[in-house]
Amino acid sequence: MSENDPGLFRAEAVQHYTAAEARGDVLRLSPAWLQSVFWLLAAACVFVLAFVAWVPVSEYASGPVVVRFEGKREVPAPVSGTVASVEVRPRQRVVAGQVLARFVAMQELAELQRFDREFEQLLMRRMRDLGDESARQSLPPLRAQRDLARARLEAWTVRAPEAGVVTDVRIRRGQHLEQGDVVVAIAREDAPASVTALVPGSYRPLLAEGGLLRLELQGFSHAYQELEITEVGEELIGPQEVQRYLGPGLSESLTVQGAVVMVRAHPPSRYFQAGGHRFEYFDGMLGTADIRVRAEPILLLLVPGLRALLPQ
């Protein structure tokens, strides 16, 4: 190297390097907290793996629910005709034989009134003259005709078949009904409420009595009720069977798709709690049911192939 050639390094740098007694260490740019973050992330990964491997996720069978009262009886119209009067109102207590409604029966009423007048006249004639054999012999057949006219008029009257509480009145005055149409519904005063859930039929093998049914009624969001399952249907039924079970009053409000199985539960009383208040069940109330059928770890849901490695 010539004196005029400065070389690759400055003279001052070469002099400092040759004169230095201690060597410098490798330059470290990572901050001190980076190692703590590494171990924190490692612990988090271990926790997540343990979580997905051991924490189960529940699967629920869900479906619509209808509330019915056991022992409820729908009283049909005995004849086709026009409603003349409605003698009861909802929630009214009735006794067996009490008149619920009457149909217009002008001809039958006029015929009964005519026989009543004839019978009274003949009876007065007989009482005025006890020796009147014609009046005496005419009384029995006239009484029979009067009883027959009364029976014909009675056919146009709807009476309570048993004692209970009127839960529903489905007619109004002046309405025309066909024979067999529902007039009113009556239930025993102490009749228990029953909850019927319609869940997909594919869950039938996983359902059993004694399980829990979580009920949420329409209009009472998040007011869940835990009920014990008391009955599970043995057969799957289709939409038409469901409509027949619900009847004409509810079949249009609750529809199902495909085959379903009926699951029943019984509330402990005729009342339920929601929002700190007590409410009464009413026949025909609708809601949603959720029934827990199984639980699996999250890992099996993410990697279904692992099920083949587990013991059966």
Helical (H) or strand (E) element with 188: none
Q: Is residue 21 part of a domain?
A: no
Joined tokens for residue 37: 């973050």
Q: Which residue has the higher pLDDT, 7 or 144?
A: 144
- 3 state DSSP class of 15: helix
Task: Return the pLDDT at 265.
Answer: 93
pLDDT-based confidence at residue 122 (cuts at 50, 70, 90): low
Q: Which residue has the higher pLDDT, 306 or 280?
A: 280
252 and 170 in a common domain: no
207 and 183 in a common domain: no
pLDDT-based confidence at residue 253 (cuts at 50, 70, 90): confident
Cβ-count burial of 216 within 10 angstroms (0-12 exposed, 13-18 middle, 19+ buried)? middle
Q: Is residue 10 part of a domain?
A: no
Q: Is residue 221 part of a domain?
A: yes
288 and 180 in a common domain: no
Q: Is residue 280 part of a domain?
A: yes
151 and 66 in a common domain: no
pLDDT averaged over the chain? Answer: 80
- CATH classification at residue 184: 2.40.50.100
Q: Which domain holds residue 173?
A: 74-102+160-188
User: Helices marked H in 74-175 — which ranges?
Assistant: 106-128, 133-154
Task: Return the pLDDT at 309.
Answer: 63
Q: Is residue 147 part of a domain?
A: yes
pLDDT at 312 over 90: no
223 and 130 in a common domain: no
Residue-wise pLDDT for 151-165, tens only, equals 677 777 888 988 888
Residue-wise pLDDT for 213-232, tens only, equals 999 999 898 899 999 999 99
Q: Is residue 297 part of a domain?
A: yes
Per-residue pLDDT averaged across 111-115, rounded?
A: 68
